[in-house]
Structure 1
């Protein structure tokens, strides 16, 4: 028995559905016991090509003759349920027998109706208040052998309560038995679509690396790795004894179990023993974000085995990066683990607290990195289609997708329209085009991209965007979210919302114009180019002084402006000096938040300051990438200072230890340091551009990426001032070597090569050597902190 990826287009997939969406009458509503529907059925024979197509409102698991159908988790997945509902297809002949068969579909609240959102106004029953299932068993093109209808029966399950944020309560003493019938719901099968991405699956389990009893006698287990998943355990004991599992990402300053940052998410498992010998349990319809588990046993019971089971839609790593700095290598691994934990059906911000939402800003800054680290093609394509569904009529894009507030906006009015966040509608498809050569997603999303750009222009009816300050205002912007502000006695400058919004209007209008050209819409391309030109001119008038200083004079302003060519030629040299001064004032540390951080190091390299980029990247104090690694992080933190220098925990109201946004720096490690990237004019790595940035402290560097066009490899070693750069162009692809003009004495495959000139490379391995003069790394004495001018 295996799953089948239905290749039908979404518009055709529902045409032959004849089953009904069936609700168990045993169901009592949200946060009550999970239910099942079941039916006995007869087969005259088993032909070998029987396929079960199945979906649900809520989450489902299916069993035929007592054996589970498939091993996918959290099915049917998470989409904007009112418009798009995934179904799965499974070949099930090996589960069937001639004669009498029994099918049972377990149903639980899931994302459909368990708690979404947080604080004083959590949302329940977001996309509906009734769980239900739809299924058809077919053999070839014949009439259905079985379908869901009101002849099915229903009953309660041993799962007494479950929820995405809550966890799961399971009473093994309760046997599932029929207690009620079913009813057919009004349901439009036109919204059914074949599952568009890799299913959520279990990864290799992680053993306990350390355990100890706390002061109350509860055992605390450390699995050594923060993750998204669940605990699996084996227990023996008397009927009625209970095992309660709580989860945490970190220990507090005193080394005690701590999960105050989970807020209202209970994130717990309660298991009541049946008393029938060895009992094995893992949750069915939930997951947690955690590294530590605290287990409380009530009654006569004993845990005989316990492990942590990560789950993810990204089951295979598609890239590797190693260097001479183990902290950097761990940073890359931390980013991969954060992607795994937050790529569970939807690209979420975090997997642990009462949030776990598809924040658009996080996804847009991380999409490029995501496509390197894992196969993200189907995953992000699916999500973009939900972004399009949730887009408001005026073009505003929600802050989170799927959007729980769209149908219940009363407590979260105006939860849409932020620049830097809504731009995901264009930036994510562009990354899919670069990495996978997918022009179809560009064409599919182009109307929505255009509506978004026009919405941003309309916020202030012109090229300078002035977002409202208050939450819920039309066009409210998060700006450069969580941008560090330096010492409280004298905070450092931060970018204003108007500059951030205006820059992003330029970025996306330029990009949409480019996409329109690819899609063959010359008129739209011209309109977007005209808009982008107006924004660029207005930005120079509004935000650049006569001396070449940007008005907010902060790292994010300069990084984004330089990276996207918003600095007029006459101001470039002065702006470079001002840019470097912002880093000096920050004592060589990061001064950027969510939107500025991915731009910072590429911008410094672009202005000819690779040494400064290296210094900022490699410094180990807060705020800094390597600070959190030194503090023991095994995933990326939401805040630069999530754990203070003295070991104390930052404010738990918004403090996740598994947030991938700052891990976007890994894109620079692959594209900048190892030096390979896709060519926008020949995407999908049909042409691979090789352009390394040598950072002496990282030697030796070795990186690879399993692209859709084959495996790319690149690595370099520095010996004195001599660099050996070894690369491999995949078979069927072409390479372009684009070395900096500052690299001298270049030899390519034994032949001299002119520095600064492109060199075409055939498929296969290539060996390049050149001379490299290391730049001086900046030293930032505290006496320079108050520097005001270059």
Structure 2
């Protein structure tokens, strides 16, 4: 990353204000892990217009108060960015909080992502983006006016807060006996206000609270509360008791095999809250500067105190649900809801892998496989645009894209050397903008990110200086690849075939080069389009020579190899039929179960449909044993697991060193549920749902199916039911869109809106349409499983 890149990223998006305020640090602050601090100022106003605006940001996290009243309702502000290059600021109307005469503003500050622990285990990073918390603020008369009523400068005061310690992983200790008192001054820091950018997306906010569904007392007298839903957020408590009594809250996602509270998988994340009572009446508390991932909490009371009420308060940057899916199978319905909850829990300012353990990082691989699903389930256009700008900051000079973004290792390379450059992960730099383009028609984002995409493609080629990519095996080596992360290994006596890093990396180089060439064409960069299209053709030919035998068998003969190869048209026509049989055999070897990991799983079911075997796709999807999507639902999951085998059939918990119960990656199957089973998707040639493609895949065991998506053009709806071999499919084209219907050859005697139809029907007008046809797929007799009561978002 060079200065020109930083300048380009800083200046993208809304116009920033010209700051006159200074970034000031509280001299009361004693460093990371010590009590939080505030900066404050009393000021006098002759009158109040009612149009006053507070522009505010911080190094660390802040919460602002004017005359004792909170400013705004956003959480974890100013958010998480690549702080050394980009720092968001928020603008709040505050006229209603001001008064003529004397006023006072307090800005509470805490460590946050800036300097509390990042990374895990025995090698945590502290003070990642700086070791000083600070605030910058300006109070102006109205939007667009330059008359600053108040600015931060070294005349402000500071002191300690009741927040005695806080951290993203740690949690929070709050001593209500302490009243903020001025004890020191402030100091202006050297700070370039060009780093400040207007907040680019919806900040995290509170969602509807979840009540306790059951509780019990353990052998040590501690009370365990079950909120019935794993989520990212915080508990809110109401307590009463004597001054100095303490309420301690621990968080957990699951119970152990004996039904006891468990959070061993949190690793070094304390994930705790301690509230010390002030005494004298009811007291209400919810954390200020942290969040946790949990379904259960364990509460310990020390001293004379009562817990009068406790609720779970989920938080998220994506609060409005934009899609729904229901079927006759309650396990499938719950799987869809689990994916919604995992997205909510992990879309807290950045797309993280998990919200609970000592990680909570913006893993690029997770984001790229889930991006398409994310665009259906919520409005994420601004969310992803903001994150991609940080990703461009974190991209290395040679084009390597980091494993996580914002990247704590970029400024601390000695702690985690070479934490970048994995195929399937760095590809987020082009996959995510492409999905945003498909769903929102956002060509500006393609234009903005194309240089970074191109640098990434050239980096991957350079790993082995040729079309076949051969990643090194050792962590930290240039071009190291995670491959098909967490691919099931099968029985130890005879492990199942697994795609090699060379094959997966080469496939991803082809995917990247061909797609980025297409993107270059869309925005008119014909030179890049021509160069990368030629590269893609060379990689495709090399893949066939290197990884496809004369008989049509792929070199590693595993599900991921076939799935990715078929989805991306990498198998020559003369070998396709044989490869289909090898693909089916790869699934037969796993007894019809999933044999794919993070990069193979999203391609598995679409590939089976593409080779003309939707019944096998249905078999794999609906089977209920491990590894399988529905297995975890049967085991009581309310969010998506990181591992297929996170809990064994006998209830034992997998190794806690890497075992999250709130990871959205495998929830990417919901894209298939909407695009294949419900049968609607955007058209790459007319994006943003200007044209909606309808092409349903009928799985009779799921009948009836109902789905919708609130697209930028309006609500898309689809539903179908099966009666014998008769199928009735209804779909709605939103106003402002055109529909295109693709009728499979297997759908016989089709009629559309009462007229005979076949093949592809274009130019369908907005409104509801009805398709009738006959279909007789291969039947299965497997049970759909027990009834599951799903919590509706």
Superposition TM-score, scaled by structure 2 size: 0.96
State how far apart, in whole Å, the 2-side matches of 1:456 and 1:538 are. Answer: 15
- Corresponding residue SS for 1:692: coil
Q: Equivalent of 1:243, from 241, 247, 250?
A: 247
Q: Distance in 1 between matches of 2:146 and 2:213?
A: 54
Return the alpha-carbon distance in structure 1 between the equivalents of residues 325 and 764 of structure 2: 23
Kindly indicate whether the alpha-carbon contact (under 8 Å) linking 1:15 and 1:190 is maintained by their aligned counterparts in 2: no
Please point out which of 447, 454, 466 is paired with 1:450.
Answer: 454
Alpha-carbon separation, structure 1, partners of 2:769 and 2:81: 45
Q: Does 1:607 align with 2:611?
A: yes
State how 1:559-598 maps to structure 2 within 5 Å.
Answer: 559-598=563-602
Equivalent residue for 1:489, pick from 484, 487, 493: 493
Please state if 1:714 is matched with 2:714. no
Q: Distance in 2 between matches of 1:184 and 1:775?
A: 73
User: Is the contact between residue 373 and residue 668 of structure 2 (CA under 8 Å) also seen in structure 1?
Assistant: yes
Q: How far 1:774 moved relative to its partner?
A: 1.4
Distance change in 2, residues 1:160/1:497 (3 Å): same
Q: CA deviation at 1:759?
A: 3.5
- The alpha carbon displacement at 1:751 in A equals 1.1
Of 684, 692, 697, the residue aligned with 2:701 is 697
**Superposed displacement of residue 9, structure 1:** 5.9
- Pick one of 223, 228, 243 that aligns with 1:224: 228
Q: How do 1:307-326 residues align onto structure 2 when only pairs under 5 Å count?
A: 307-326=311-330
Q: Does residue 181 of structure 2 align to residue 153 of structure 1?
A: no
Of 405, 428, 443 in structure 2, the residue corresponding to residue 439 of structure 1 is 443
Q: CA deviation at 1:423?
A: 0.3
2:68 match: 66
Match of 1:190 in 2: 194
Query: What CA deviation, in whole Å up to 9, does each residue of 1:400-458 have, x standing for no partner?
Result: 00000000011200000000000000000000000000001101000000000000000
Taking the aligned partners of 1:16 and 1:637, their CA distance within structure 2 comes to: 46
Hey, what does 2:777 align to over in structure 1?
A: 774
Deviations 1:290-339 (A, max 9, x none): 00000000000000100000000011100000001000000000000000
Alignment-derived partner of residue 757 in structure 1: 760
The Cα shift of 1:26 comes to 0.3
What CA distance in whole angstroms lies between the structure 1 residues aligned with 2:760 and 2:642? 41
1:14 deviates by: 4.3
Contact 1:26/1:154 (CA < 8 Å) preserved in 2? Answer: yes
Distance 1:15 1:277, change over 3 A: closer
Which of 663, 666, 673 does residue 677 from structure 2 map onto? 673
Secondary structure (helix, strand or coil) at the match of 1:581 reads helix
Instruction: Return the alpha-carbon distance in structure 1 between the equivalents of residues 763 and 531 of structure 2.
Output: 35
Q: Distance in 2 between matches of 1:35 and 1:718?
A: 63
Moved more, 495-504 or 733-742: 733-742
Tell me what 2:667 maps to.
663
Correspondence for 1:110: 112
Judge which range, 109-118 or 738-747, deviates more: 738-747
Specify the alignment match of 1:174 in structure 2: 178
How big is the shift at 1:13? 3.9
**Residue in structure 1 matched with residue 483 of structure 2 by the alignment:** 479
Q: Please tell me whether the aligned partners of residues 377 and 432 of structure 1 are also in contact (alpha carbons under 8 angstroms).
A: yes
**Partners in 2 of 1:706 and 1:12 — Cα distance?**
26
Classify the secondary structure of the residue corresponding to 2:78. Answer: coil
Q: Is the 2:593–2:628 contact (alpha carbons within 8 Å) kept by the matching residues of 1?
A: yes
**1:79 match:** 81
Give SS of 2:148's match. Answer: coil
Question: What is the CA–CA distance in structure 2 between the aligned matches of 1:744 and 1:146, rounded to whole Å?
Answer: 73
Question: Is 1:408 equivalent to 2:412 in the alignment?
Answer: yes
Deviations 1:266-288 (A, max 9, x none): 00000000002100000000000
Query: How far did residue 767 of structure 1 move?
Result: 1.0
Give 2:125's match in structure 1, choosing from 109, 123, 126. Answer: 123
Match of residue 788 from structure 1: none
Query: Residues 395 and 768 from structure 1, CA distance in 2 versus in 1: closer, same or farther, beyond 3 angstroms?
Result: same
CA contact 1:399–1:416 (8 Å) conserved in 2: yes
C-alpha distance after superposition, 1:331-364 (max 9, x if no partner): 0000000000000000000000000000000000
Partners of 1:115 and 1:165 within 8 A in 2: yes
Provide the C-alpha distance between the structure 2 equivalents of 1:458 and 1:108, rounded to a whole number of angstroms. Answer: 43
Contact 2:21–2:152 (CA<8 Å) still a contact in 1? Answer: yes
Matches within 5 A, 1:474-553: 474-553=478-557
Decide which of 326, 331, 334 is 1:330's aligned counterpart: 334
> Does the CA contact (< 8 Å) of 1:318 and 1:374 recur in 2?
yes
Kept after mapping to 2: 8 A contact 1:614/1:777:
no
Residue 652 of structure 2 corresponds to which residue in structure 1? 648
Aligned mates of 1:776, 1:488 — CA distance in 2? 33
Can you give the 5+ residue segments of structure 2 that lack an aligned partner in the other structure? 1-9, 783-793
CA deviation after TM superposition for structure 1 residue 760, in Å: 2.7
Matched-pair contact (CA < 8 Å) for 2:13–2:200: no
Provide, for residues 163-220 of structure 1, a one-character-per-residue CA deviation record: whole Å limited to 9, x for no partner: 0000000000011000000000110010100111111000000000000000100000
SS at match of 1:490: coil
Contact 1:165–1:265 (Cα < 8 Å) also in 2: yes
| Mapping for residues 291-306 of structure 1, pairs under 5 Å | 291-306=295-310
**Secondary structure class of the residue paired with 2:182:** strand
Distance 1:702 1:251 in 2: 34
CA contact (8 A) 2:267 2:657 kept: yes
Tell me the distance in 2 between the aligned counterparts of 1:406 and 1:594.
Answer: 24
Partner Cα distance (1:300, 1:16) in 2: 53
Aligned partner of 1:4 in structure 2 is none
- Alpha-carbon distance in 2 for matches of 1:446, 1:742: 40
TM-superposed deviation, 1:11: 7.5
Aligned to 1:25: 27
Please give the alpha-carbon distance, in whole angstroms, between the structure 1 residues aligned to 2:239 and 2:508.
54
Aligned with 1:395 (options 387, 399, 404): 399
- Partner of residue 468 from structure 2, selected from 464, 480, 487: 464
- 2:237 match: secondary structure: strand
Match of 1:5 in 2: none
Aligned counterpart in structure 1 of residue 140 of structure 2, from 138, 153, 178: 138
Tell me the distance in 1 between the aligned counterparts of 2:410 and 2:732.
48
Taking only aligned residues, the RMSD between alpha carbons, in angstroms, comes to 1.0
Q: CA deviation at 1:773?
A: 1.2
Distance 1:431 1:37 in 2: 42
Equivalent residue number for residue 3 of structure 1: none
